[in-house]
Amino acid sequence: MPTNLLSGNGPWGAPCGACRDDLASGLCSVVSRAHDEDPIGSAPSHRRYLLVEVAPPWAGAIDASRRFPPVLRELGEAIAARGIPFRSIAVEPDAEYSRPGHTRAILLYRPDGPFAVYDREEFLVPDDRLGPLVAALFLRPAELPRFAPWRQGGAGVRDLLVCTHGTKDACCGKFGYPLYRTLRDRYAPAAGGRLRVWRASHIGGHRFAPTLVDFPEGRYWAHLTPDALDALVRREGSPAALRRHYRGWGGLDGETKFVQIAEREILAREGWAWIGYRQAGEVLTADERGTRATVRITFSSPDGHRAGAYEATVEAHGNVPLVSCRARDEAPDSLDQYRVTRLVELAAPTTGPAPDAASGERAA
């Protein structure tokens, strides 16, 4: 089945009833926390996201919801036929952000080369213009100037999408909504319009609920608690304090699990300024069992005065039991956990084999 807006296997996802079967043995998010599962390396990696307002109620499969715009189903096949992959997320209209009779659509996409944040195209169009807008965004970009009257600024605006999709997963509904309310009521009003908080459809990783994705960066966070929110939202203190909440940055390519694990260590050492650095990652070597890899992440500062690369060795170290909302016969019994056993900053970006300690490598 092609990946499209309509398919249950596509970017809108499919209903998941298995989590309700887990209620007798414990919600998967509770079990994950009880075993101190490390969420790093679990962030999805997508080149494009389409965020669209969809009014409730939501079905388990968001495109089966009563108020899901039918035109999106019709466009899905055409977009898939063009081989344009993307991830769609529904957001619930908000009394402050939204406008009656209009639908907000936000396209987030990676710029070419190393980057720090996704580029954004945001529109608030009359409901009957949503289909032509999405067609222009994906299929007919020459028509995009026609939508200039409905273009939204968006510069400097941060969007936190909290998964509260309880009809798809019990953990996200139970734990996501209280987190959403805290962020929406306490943090968004104090940000002077620079922070929006949305109820979102499933973003993956239900066993890490409550979970959110932070745009326009595309960083994913897990098992969030009220005492973690000051550091996350205001970026106070060291990001190292949030290491067990960090799923990873979805902007990294390569074998993303290993690259994301390495990037967390760099973030912890560099501090919050690191998130503004343009980055690109790659796996240099990996064993056949997937238990050890060498990773390189190149970077440059926003002002261009600092550029270089980090190299890391990532290795498996034990595992944790897995309770998942996937079908029992499809899920492994346990998941490997990983750690960084070596992290060095190279003296300058390199394109060949990494230098040794005698040729310019220094410990980070």
pLDDT at 128 over 60: yes
Query: Residue by residue, what is the 3-state secondary structure of the chain?
Result: CCCCCCCCCCCCCCCCCHHHHHHHCCCHHHHHHHCCCCCCCCCCCCCEEEEEECCCCCCCCHHHCCCCCHHHHHHHHHHHHCCCCCEEEEECCCCCCCCCCEEEEEEEECCCCCECCCEEEEEEEEHHHHHHHHHHHHCCHHHHHHHHHHECCCCCCEEEEEECCCCCCHHHHHHHHHHHHHHHHHHCHHHCCCEEEEEECCCCCHHHCCCEEEECCCEEECCCCHHHHHHHHHCCCCHHHHHHHEEEECCCCCCHHHHHHHHHHHHHHHCHHHHHCEEEEEEEEECCCCCEEEEEEEEECCCCCCEEEEEEEEEEEEEEECCCCCCCCCCCCEEEEEEEEEEEEECCCCCCCCCCHHHCEEEC
Tell me the pLDDT band of 325, cut-offs 50, 70 and 90: low
Q: Determine which of 111-115, 274-278, 358-362 has the lowest per-residue pLDDT on average.
A: 358-362
Class of domain 1-251: alpha beta
Region 107-112 average pLDDT: 96
Mean pLDDT to the nearest integer, 102-107 = 98
Share of the chain above pLDDT 90, in %: 71
Query: Which range has the worst mean pLDDT, 143-152, 160-169, 213-222?
Result: 160-169
pLDDT tens digits for range 218-276: 999 999 999 999 999 999 999 999 999 999 999 998 678 999 999 999 999 999 999 99
Q: What is the pLDDT of residue 75?
A: 92
The answer to whether residue 290 scores a pLDDT higher than 60 is yes
Least confidently predicted of 118-127, 173-182, 320-329: 320-329
pLDDT score, position 328 = 45
Over residues 96-107, the mean pLDDT reads: 97
At residue 254, the pLDDT reads 66
pLDDT of 285: 96
Which residue ranges make up each domain of the chain? 1-251, 253-364
pLDDT at 349: 47
Q: For the residues 137-150, what does the mean pLDDT come to?
A: 97
pLDDT band of residue 40 (cuts 50, 70, 90) is very high
Lowest mean pLDDT among 34-38, 125-129, 139-143, 230-234: 34-38
Query: What integer best gives the mean pLDDT of the chain?
Result: 87
Q: What is the pLDDT of residues 184-201, one digit of tens each?
A: 999 999 999 999 999 999
Per-residue pLDDT band for 74 (boundaries 50, 70, 90) equals confident
pLDDT band at 331 (very low <50, low <70, confident <90, very high): low
Best-predicted range by mean pLDDT (78-92, 203-217, 259-273): 259-273
